[in-house]
Chain A
Amino acid sequence: MPDTVWTIAALLSAELGMAWLAQAMDVHWRQVRGDAPRPVSRALRPLGYAALIAALVLCLLANTATMAVLVWMMLLAVSAVSVAFVLSWRPRLLAWTWP
């Protein structure tokens, strides 16, 4: 059971990381926030990458190393696609990921 918890945490971390990386770009920030100013723009990108690394660590907690790398790689793809689709259809949802 804890393996499942780690895997879900890894998925959430990957989604968050991709959401932050997207919002680090002007065009997507505007899609999510409209014209709201971006006071912490510099932090989003490193935080995004950090969340992706955290997802890898969480995958390693749940799996043997060879499995973990595969799970992580696939989670990155799934989270990137889902963030792109949210940006296309419900961009404002991503506002939740940043105060």
Chain B
Amino acid sequence: MFANFRLSLTWLHTWFGLVLGFVLMVAFFFGSMSVFDREIDRWSLPETRIAAQPMPSFDHILAQRFAQMTEPEAEQRAAAEKRVTQPLPAQLTASNWNAYTTHRDPVLLTYVGFAVPHSTLPDDTIYAEQTIDPRDGHALHRDQLALGSGFFYPMHFSLHLEWHDIGYWIVGLSAMAMLAALVSGVVMHRKIFREFFTFRPERNPLRSTLDLHNLTGVVALPFHFLWALSGALIFVGIYFPVVGAMMQPVVEAHEHEEALHSGLDHDPSGKPGTLASVDAMVAVAKAHWAGKGMPGEVGFLSVNHVGNSNAYVSIYRDSTDRVASAEGLHFAGATGKVLFEDPPDGPVTTVNAFLVGMHLQQFRHWTLRWLIFIGGIVSCICIATGFIFFVEKRKTVHARQGRAGSRWVDALAVTTVTGMIAATLFVLVANRVLPESLADRDLWQKSAFWGAWLVLLLHAMWRSSALREARRSKAWAEQTWIIAALALAAPLLNALTTGDHLGKTLSAGYWPVAGVDLMLLLTAGIAFVTARRLQRSTTTDDLPVAQEPEHA
């Protein structure tokens, strides 16, 4: 089919890179945003702009909170009703209580699991969720949208396509394709070492775009590779649920075996029991960690088989100083005695835990957090320059032959590069402009994002008609101007609506909000310079392609 191996890989790199590159652009851009998800949450939820809090007292705050959470989420209950053989009782009993926080969270996520009786699924559980203020236990408003962890982060791995989890499949497939694109890219690149440091912005657009594509691809190759790989690994469990379903008897036997070994019962006893002081168990756990030379706070706490005589409490350390998350300590609920400590991981689990931990980044290491953010942006530049190279290489021939291929690729490239950044900034602006009392405020914000993105897609398609004469689409410059305006408007609106202007947040050292504001202003500055250069070169139309704007 192809004259040689290199040509066939070039074909693979070009077409897989193009088709799945649009998905990868979304995954990497929103992945980079998710590195600072908790900080974006603080920016978008002014009522939570307080310092990070440790896990609150269970006996004084959490126990009351959990006792009030008696109803699973309505949509989860509705879904469960379709998979039971007998009607669900009106009142389900809580089977587990859970609280989760990290060193960057001022608010606490609490959730209660309810076992679904007579379900066709094994261990079927539905949940009630509530975010609370850990200082006094009061519940936060429910239709608030945490833009970072509640919108950008799910976008990163699911594209918000929930139908049959198709978003997960698309993103996962793209991660695999990215591994193939990296390998084929390395094979295609003839001068990988000789041109390691080469970027020639003064050369023609085709050459300088390829230089930037190669540079960002090669120097960050370990980053691209490890993140695509670990991302794919995280979802292996979601991609292949069939293993769990087919092997269910084996899995259950294994779970019972493990329960026997650890003393943590797999099933509730059915006999009523009381819960000893969980705060005392937390104190024992903290002393245990300190004794091992790794003092720390509680990250995850759960009570299993709630109300039963064999209830047990699992306490996990907030793993701030390690890449992989820490092992748990399990206590008998009735007596508070230590039942079991998770053993250190075996080699395979250790590698897996390292890759997953690296990708999820719950550790406390601001240098590494910033470096990973920069890595994500470098990946975005690599993908974006790939699109631009595709168009630059073909546009003259396509224009002469009257073909529209490069035109539509250019329109989609504008939409996924400048359009996506502008829509992201638009949702920040919407977050500050929409009145606090608006019903379904979360839905309005999501609609603002999708609406803005759709409008920018139409704009890009309209402007791409310039490609018919092999000229550059004006959409690049115009959408970059939109980015500059929105990135400037967002911090101004934040100051106007909340009073938390930079002078205040910087002098108070409240970095989550100050950092987001500063990055927005930096984005506005870079977009302004880029837009001016793009506009100049679009009018003269023979100057080199300008750089991609940085994203915040």
Q: State the A residues within 8 Å of B (CB).
A: 7, 18, 21-22, 25, 28, 63-64, 66-67, 70-71, 73-78, 80-81, 83-85, 87-89
**Nearest chain B CB to A79 CB, angstrom units:** 9
Interface residue from B194, B223, B322, B367 paired with A71 (Cβ < 8 Å) = B367
Given contacts A64-B321, A67-B323, A77-B378, contact A84 B220 (CB under 8 A): no
| B368 lies within 8 A of A81 (CB) | no
4 new A-B contacts, CB < 8 A, other than A73-B223, A84-B199, are A25-B194, A71-B368, A87-B199, A89-B201
With contact pairs A71-B367, A78-B374 given, residues A87 and B197 touching in the complex (Cβ less than 8 Å)? yes
Contact of B216 among A64, A70, A71, A81 (CB under 8 A): A81
* Residues B374 and A80 in contact, CB atoms below 8 Å apart: no
B199 touches A85 (CB 8 A): yes
Across-interface contacts of B215 in A (CB, < 8 A): 81, 84
Bound-state Cα–Cα, A88 to B220, Å: 18
- Give chain B nearest CB distance to A68 CB in angstroms: 10
A91 to B324, CA, bound (A): 41
A63 to B323, CA, bound (A): 11
Is A77 touching B219 in the complex (CB atoms < 8 A)?
yes
Closest to A75 in B: B371
Contact B216 A7 (CB under 8 A): no
B363 at the interface (CB under 8 A from A): yes
* Alpha-carbon distance A27/B201, docked complex (angstroms): 16
Interface string of B173-201 (1 = CB under 8 A from A): 00000000000000000000010111111
Q: How far, in angstroms, from A88 to B544 measured CA to CA in the complex?
A: 14
CB-CB contacts of B340-371 with A at 8 A, as 1s and 0s? 00000000000000100010000101011001
Are A80 and B200 within 8 A (Cβ)? Answer: no
Contact of A66 among B220, B222, B324 (CB under 8 A): B324
Residue tally, chain B, CB below 8 Å to A? 29
Which residues of B (48-65) have their CB < 8 Å from a CB of A? none
Alpha-carbon distance between A51 and B318 when the two chains are bound, in angstroms: 35
CB neighbours (8 Å) of A75 from chain B are 371
CB nearest to A62 among chain B residues: B367
A84 & B197 in contact (Cβ 8 Å cutoff) = yes
Docked-complex contact A74 and B374, CB < 8 angstroms: yes
The answer to whether A64 touches B371, judged by C-beta atoms less than 8 angstroms apart, is no
Closest 5 CB pairs of A and B: A74-B371, A80-B219, A66-B323, A77-B220, A84-B197
Distance of A89 Cα from B208 Cα, bound (Å): 13
- Complex Cα distance, B367 from A84, in Å, reads 22
Chain B residue numbers with a CB within 8 Å of A85 are 199
Provided the pairs A77-B220, A84-B197 are in contact, do residues A70 and B374 lie with their beta carbons within 8 angstroms?
Answer: no
Identify B358's interface contact among A18, A70, A76, CB under 8 A: A70
Can you pick out 25 interface pairs between chain A and chain B where the beta carbons lie within 8 Å of each other? A21-B196, A22-B196, A64-B321, A66-B354, A67-B322, A67-B363, A67-B365, A67-B368, A70-B371, A71-B371, A73-B226, A74-B223, A74-B368, A74-B371, A74-B372, A77-B219, A77-B222, A77-B375, A81-B215, A81-B216, A84-B196, A84-B197, A84-B219, A85-B199, A87-B198
A78 to B153, CA, bound (A): 25
Residues of chain B contacted by A21 (CB below 8 angstroms): 196-197
Give the chain A neighbours of B222 by CB distance below 8 A.
73, 76-77
Instruction: State A84–B208 Cα separation when bound (angstroms).
Output: 13
Residues of A within 8 A of B220 (CB): 77, 81
